[in-house]
């Protein structure tokens, strides 16, 4: 026809989100009103609008808006032209710089068509299809004529929600997911409600291990103690007898206030055996914090040692019955004591930071621990890993129980690092080499310290096979450190990630991180869902969202804690019924815990944790909302390897508020820097 060009006059329409309480009918009326008002000014050419508003042009993106709605009407009579009948029409859409283009072809014959195009660099094909299904679901709901509150308008297709809930159930399948591998367990799906075959409690499980491995070394420590399972049993019985003589009853809170040693472990096991509740009081915490824990937990008895006995009054326990474990451990009765641990009773109270400034006691039952430990054991084939387990973590931290139970439930040897070596990378890594440690659990920060200050010692840890991280983001640089160590010195070393709040009993997800490839993920998945757990990602109204959609991570299953000590109001907010969410949620678990973490589930079951949902890292400075984590990532990326860590905080108030960054330089960079200065 002799013409070529863009024969559309774009019509910009500005919308705002309707406030809560708005009805669908009111939203439609408001939309129609704004569209009609814009059409009244449609005679103004697009170029004139951009020129008068002085909006800059760009060849990388469209001006003003990143959402384009291409609405086309096809009249029936257009199917014939100049005597020719058109049986089909093919639309060739030009490429454009919009993030989202919604095509609506409205045919009066009823054969309407919806199409959706997203920028390939920003969205995957699956995400685009998900969004289109969501849009169709909303349209169908509105077409039914139900004048709902917009908050009650279900934005996701039911099939997508059902898929997400199914994927969130704990599985045991072999698969590979980028740099995270689910390489544990068997080839069949055990599901979150797998049958538990262990004895009634973890305490009973350890009792069985004692019978089966009686002559094997169970405990070693920095004081030269080396106890077989049989010898450990005798010391446990001696301490348990003293507890019974002191009048302990089922679910009595009992504090363990000692230096780290084999006797700490025996004291803990004795508490379990008499049916008491274990309350760890580690001196690596401040005296003020321990005093708060004693005040909240109100232990009836405290098990001490010769070094801590004189400090009982400092933590506010002067009027509590005190038993010095070392003095009674050798007084085992001639007959073995019955194990009084009950599955449905409380086992442990672990104190975490609370919003009030005082520690918050998480109550974990014996059923919680059994479900966690047996599921973990099957998921990871744990018996093959735990020949010698390192115990170097503060006893108030749930990871310490991971270390203890991993060894003693599977017949391994637990090495207890003494207090004077804890926190010392050189000393700890020397112990690892000398004791031939095979299994470690530590935070990424602690692993970084080992690499930074004791890299040479790590090369000598020839028995080290399994390194589990958790508690923090496992970042790319640390993975590279493990990759280098494995390539140069420890070819059998494997790295694992895990995720889970204390309220879910240690971990809800684990997975192996592949460090054999040079192409590491910038953001590593937390892991795959463990047996006996279910995970869902929900929106603000606690409604599940589809796979890949971001929201709050909530966890369900028999590993969910019984609640908080003396904080019923907080319990009702954090622990919710599955009936409040979705019918499938109720089927998967009676109780769900709101983690407060923001994350998403991938199609293969990998769980990603992206930060805090409550906006803990978000600040506002002079009207601008800023994510501190984002600034930290920019600093690390811009440094191009010169920095290993960066922490950004907001300081000041009002107009004088500013951001401050604290950074840690990478060891290689410092070596090169100082070498250059010397030369």
Please, are residues 304 and 322 in contact by the beta-carbon 8 Å criterion?
Answer: yes
Structural tokens at position 519:
């192409």
The span from the CA of 373 to the CA of 204, in Å, is 13
Please give the full DSSP string across 118-142, using - where no structure is assigned. E-TTT--HHHHHHHHHHHHHHHHHH
How many other C-beta atoms lie within 10 A of the C-beta of residue 640?
8
What's the rounded Cα separation, in Å, for the pair 611 and 507? 17
Give the distance, in angstroms, between the CA of residue 348 and the centroid of all CA atoms in the same chain: 22
Q: Which two tokens stand for residue 180?
A: 């995270």
Alpha-carbon distance 63 to 60, whole Å? 10
Q: At what angle do helices 229-245 and 202-212 cross, to 10 degrees?
A: 140
pLDDT tens figures, 92-151: 666 667 888 888 888 777 778 888 888 888 888 888 899 999 998 988 888 888 888 888
> Which regions in the chain score pLDDT beneath 70?
1-8, 75-81, 86-96, 171-194, 354-357, 516-522, 584, 586, 614-620, 622-625, 654-655
CA 187, 388, 429, 509 torsion: positive or negative? positive
Residues in CB range of 4: below 8 A, 6 or more apart: none
Pairing, β 346-352 against β 551-556 = unpaired
614, 615, 621, 625 alpha-carbon torsion, rounded to 10° = -110
Q: Which two tokens stand for residue 9?
A: 């006059």
Nearest residue to 124 via CA among 603, 627, 553, 528: 603
Report the b/e string of 50-63 with b at 16+ CB within 10 A.
Answer: beeeeeeeeeeebb
SS3 state at 340? coil
Domains and CATH numbers, the chain: 24-155 (no CATH), 617-678 (3.30.300.30)
Which residues have a Cβ under 8 Å from the Cβ of 86 and sit 6 or more positions away? 78, 79, 80
**Residue that is written with structure tokens 């077989």 in the block:** 228
Both tokens assigned to 561:
């804690």
Cβ-in-10-Å burial (0-12, 13-18, 19+) of 296 comes to: buried
Which is it for strands 100-107 and 67-74: parallel, antiparallel or unpaired?
Answer: parallel
Please give the sequence-ordered ranges of beta strands (E in DSSP) within 392-502, or none if there are none. 413-416, 439-441, 466-468, 494-499
Those residues whose C-beta lies under 8 Å from the C-beta of residue 235, and which sit 6 or more positions away, are 227, 262, 263, 266, 329, 330, 332
Write the CA distances from 489 to 1, 481, 483, integer angstroms: 73, 12, 10
Residue 353, token pair as written in the block: 């930071």
DSSP state, 324? E
Q: What residues form DSSP beta bridges with 389?
A: 414, 439
Query: Residue 68: enclosing H or E segment and its boundaries?
Result: strand 67-74
Place of tokens 């590491």: 520
Supply 506's token pair: 């240690």
Alpha-carbon span 175 to 9, nearest angstrom? 51
**Which residue has tokens 């348990």?**
240
Q: Which residues contact 364 (CB under 8 A, 6 or more apart)?
A: 346, 347, 348, 349, 350, 502, 505, 561, 562
All residues at 6 or more sequence positions from 293 whose CB lies less than 8 Å from its CB, including other chains:
279, 281, 285, 315, 351, 359, 361, 396
- Write down the pLDDT at residue 291: 94
pLDDT of 357:
54
Tens digit of pLDDT for each residue in 506-541?
Answer: 999 999 998 766 566 667 899 999 988 999 999 988
**Residue 332, CA distances (Å) to 85, 248, 264, 304 in order:** 100, 17, 17, 18
Rounded CA-CA distance 416/305 in Å is 15
pTM of the full predicted structure?
A: 0.83
């Amino acid at each position: 026809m002799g013409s070529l060009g863009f024969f559309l006059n774009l019509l910009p329409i500005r919308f705002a989100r309707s406030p809560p309480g708005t009805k669908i009918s009111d939203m439609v009326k408001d939309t129609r009103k704004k569209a009609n008002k814009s059409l009244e000014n449609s005679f103004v050419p697009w170029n004139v609008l951009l020129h008068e508003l002085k909006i800059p042009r760009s060849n990388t993106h469209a001006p003003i808006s990143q959402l384009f709605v291409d609405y086309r009407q096809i009249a029936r009579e257009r199917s014939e032209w100049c005597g020719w009948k058109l049986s089909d029409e093919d639309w060739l859409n030009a490429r454009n710089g919009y993030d989202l283009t919604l095509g609506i072809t409205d045919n009066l014959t009823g054969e309407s068509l919806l199409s959706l195009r997203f920028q390939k660099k920003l969205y995957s094909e699956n995400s685009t299809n998900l969004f289109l299904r969501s849009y169709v679901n909303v349209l169908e709901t509105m077409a039914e004529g139900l004048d709902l509150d917009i908050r009650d308008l279900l934005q996701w297709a039911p099939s997508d929600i059902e898929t997400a809930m199914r994927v969130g159930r704990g599985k045991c399948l072999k698969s590979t997911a980028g740099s995270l591998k689910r390489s544990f367990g068997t080839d069949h799906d055990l599901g979150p409600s797998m049958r538990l075959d262990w004895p009634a409690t973890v305490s009973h499980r350890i009792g069985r291990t004692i019978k089966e491995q009686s002559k094997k070394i169970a405990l070693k420590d920095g004081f030269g103690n080396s106890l077989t399972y049989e010898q450990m049993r005798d010391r446990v019985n001696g301490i348990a007898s003293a507890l019974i003589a002191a009048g302990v009853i089922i679910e009595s809170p009992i504090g363990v206030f000692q230096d780290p040693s084999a006797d700490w472990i025996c004291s803990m096991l004795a508490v379990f055996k008499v049916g008491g509740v274990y309350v760890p009081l580690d001196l690596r915490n401040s005296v003020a914090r321990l005093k708060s824990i004693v005040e909240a937990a109100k232990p009836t008895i405290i098990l001490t040692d010769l070094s801590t006995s004189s400090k009982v009054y400092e933590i506010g326990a002067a009027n509590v019955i005190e038993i010095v474990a070392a003095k009674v451990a050798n007084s085992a009765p001639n007959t073995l004591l019955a194990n009084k641990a009950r599955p449905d009773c409380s086992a442990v109270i672990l104190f975490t930071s609370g919003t009030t400034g005082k520690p918050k006691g998480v109550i974990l039952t014996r059923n919680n621990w059994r479900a966690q430990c047996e599921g973990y054991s099957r998921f990871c084939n744990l018996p093959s890993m735990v020949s010698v387990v390192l115990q170097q973590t503060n006893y108030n931290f749930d990871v310490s129980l991971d270390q203890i139970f991993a060894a003693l439930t599977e017949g391994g040897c637990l090495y207890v690092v003494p207090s004077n070596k804890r926190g010392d990378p050189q000393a700890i890594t020397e112990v690892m080499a000398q004791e031939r440690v095979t299994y470690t659990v530590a935070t990424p920060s602690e692993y970084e310290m080992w690499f930074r200050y004791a890299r040479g010692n790590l090369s000598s840890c020839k028995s080290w096979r399994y390194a589990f991280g958790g508690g923090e983001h496992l970042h790319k640089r640390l993975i590279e450190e493990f990759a280098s160590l494995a390539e140069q010195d420890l070819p059998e070393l494997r790295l694992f990630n895990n995720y889970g709040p204390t309220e879910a009993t240690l971990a809800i997800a684990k997975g192996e991180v592949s460090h054999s490839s040079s192409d590491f993920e910038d953001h590593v998945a937390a892991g795959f869902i463990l047996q006996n757990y279910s995970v869902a990602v929900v929106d603000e109204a606690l409604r599940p969202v589809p796979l890949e959609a971001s929201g709050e991570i909530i966890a369900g299953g028999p590993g969910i804690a019984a609640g908080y000590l003396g904080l019923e109001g907080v319990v009702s907010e954090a622990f919710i019924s599955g009936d409040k969410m979705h019918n499938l949620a109720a089927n998967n678990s009676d109780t769900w815990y709101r983690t407060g973490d923001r994350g998403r589930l991938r199609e293969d079951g990998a769980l990603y944790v992206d930060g805090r949902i409550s906006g803990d890292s978000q600040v506002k400075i002079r009207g601008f909302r800023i994510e501190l984590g984002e600034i930290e990532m920019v600093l690390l990326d811009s440094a191009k390897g010169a920095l290993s860590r960066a922490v950004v905080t907001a300081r000041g108030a009002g107009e004088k508020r500013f951001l401050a960054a604290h950074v840690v330089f990478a060891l290689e960079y410092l070596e090169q820097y100082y070498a250059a200065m010397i030369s």
